[in-house]
């Protein structure tokens, strides 16, 4: 029995549940190992292989989430900062931050429900509500199938789904918008990347919406508005200099770029951050989540160094 074709969608499911690509990959490995050990007990008359695997994965996720705090973004922890030029950039390493999802590594169709804002909103749900919401609304299992997977009743599943929907509406994430992987968005990110590489703050600011949000886990800070965004970017370029290299990619079904800064010796670029963008229909950047954890680059398969020239 070959379970490997299900790895991608199971990883996306576990990511939606946990908010961590590292936890998701571990949980999928555990799921496939459990399935392999129990394959002789699988009954095709009771469930398809896919449904059976999701039952195992759901149980693994529910166990893993027991007693765990939710994974937030900085904007979910309080008000925006008011001193982008001087606030200390101290990482909060005790916070289990939400992580980005390396879309290109997995063949996943429903990427809209992988958007960072959507996954961050899901973190406010209880573990069982998360499971019900994702299994019912994203993966489109029936209420009866979900009840069997969670060993509960259809009525309990429907009740949990109603509560989950209400919480998502309160978070402004009731209707997940399909990612717009189109030439217009690509053009915006490429213009942003060119401006970033030459440390051109005015050019970056021209690409921003008036109330654009910038946040940078693991630093528990975020800023709102073009002015503060620009002031913070000026600070970054003063600290790191003007030698930059970028690579455009996709994370969570959203446009993203990896930023590398040149080392003082001038012979190699090192990872700085992976930036995940939200772009409005009008072609302006409304949000940028800047991930500075080195493990993020590894999860995306990005090089640890790039030679200059």
pLDDT one digit per residue (tens) for the chain, 309 residues = 789 999 999 999 999 999 999 999 999 999 999 999 998 888 888 889 999 999 999 999 999 999 999 999 999 999 999 999 999 999 999 999 999 999 888 877 656 689 999 999 999 999 999 999 999 999 999 999 999 999 999 999 999 999 999 999 988 775 544 444 678 899 999 999 999 999 999 999 999 999 999 999 999 999 999 999 999 999 999 999 889 999 999 999 999 999 999 998 889 999 999 999 999 989 999 999 999 988 899 999 999 999 997
pLDDT value at residue 110: 56
Q: Is residue 52 part of a domain?
A: no
What residues make up the domain containing 198? Answer: 183-307
**Do the beta carbons of residue 252 and residue 279 sit within 8 Å?**
no
List the structure tokens of 63: 């166990």
Q: Is residue 283 part of a domain?
A: yes
pLDDT value at residue 122: 95
| Nearest CA-CA partner of 267 in 219, 309, 224 | 309
Would you say the pTM of this structure is higher than 0.75? yes
Q: How many domains does the chain have?
A: 1
Q: 199: alpha, beta or left, given left = phi > 0 and alpha = psi -120 to 50?
A: left
Q: Is residue 266 part of a domain?
A: yes
Give the residue carrying structure tokens 């496939």: 32
Q: Is residue 198 part of a domain?
A: yes
Q: Is residue 75 part of a domain?
A: no
Contacts for 303 with CB less than 8 Å, ≥ 6 apart: 297
Q: Is residue 296 part of a domain?
A: yes
- Specify the CATH number for the domain of residue 200: 3.10.450.50
Whether the bond between 218 and the residue before it is cis, its omega within 30 degrees of 0, is yes
pLDDT value at residue 39: 85
| Nearest CA-CA partner of 129 in 170, 90, 162, 171 | 162
pLDDT value at residue 171: 81
pLDDT value at residue 180: 47
Q: Is residue 113 part of a domain?
A: no
Q: Is residue 158 part of a domain?
A: no
């Amino acid at each position: 029995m070959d379970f490997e074709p299900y790895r991608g969608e199971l990883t996306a499911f576990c990511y939606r549940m946990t908010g961590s690509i590292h936890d998701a990959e571990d949980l999928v490995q555990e799921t496939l190992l459990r399935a392999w050990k129990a394959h002789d007990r699988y009954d095709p008359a009771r469930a398809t292989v896919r449904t059976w695997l999701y039952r195992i994965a759901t149980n693994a996720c529910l166990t893993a989430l027991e007693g765990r705090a939710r994974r937030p973004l900085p904007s979910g922890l309080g008000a925006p900062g008011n001193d982008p030029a001087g606030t200390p950039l101290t990482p909060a390493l005790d916070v289990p931050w939400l992580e980005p999802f390396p879309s290109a590594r997995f063949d996943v169709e429903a990427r809209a429900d992988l958007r960072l804002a959507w996954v961050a909103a899901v973190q406010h749900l209880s573990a069982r509500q998360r499971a019900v919401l994702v299994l019912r609304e994203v993966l489109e299992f029936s209420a009866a199938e979900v009840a069997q997977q969670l060993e509960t009743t259809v009525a309990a599943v429907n009740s949990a789904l109603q509560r989950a929907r209400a919480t998502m509406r309160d978070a402004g994430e009731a209707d997940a918008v399909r990612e717009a992987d189109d030439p217009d968005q690509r053009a915006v990110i490429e213009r942003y990347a060119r401006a970033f590489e030459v440390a051109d703050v005015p050019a970056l600011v021209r690409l921003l919406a008036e109330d654009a949000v910038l946040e940078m886990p693991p630093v528990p800070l975020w800023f709102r508005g073009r002015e503060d965004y620009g002031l913070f970017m000026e600070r970054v370029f003063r600290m790191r200099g003007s030698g930059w290299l970028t690579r455009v990619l996709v994370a969570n079904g959203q446009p993203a770029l990896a930023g590398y800064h040149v080392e003082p010796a001038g012979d190699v670029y090192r990872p700085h951050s992976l930036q995940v963008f939200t772009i409005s229909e009008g072609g302006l950047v409304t949000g940028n989540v800047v991930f500075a954890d080195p493990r993020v680059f590894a999860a995306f398969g990005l090089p640890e160094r790039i030679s200059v020239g």
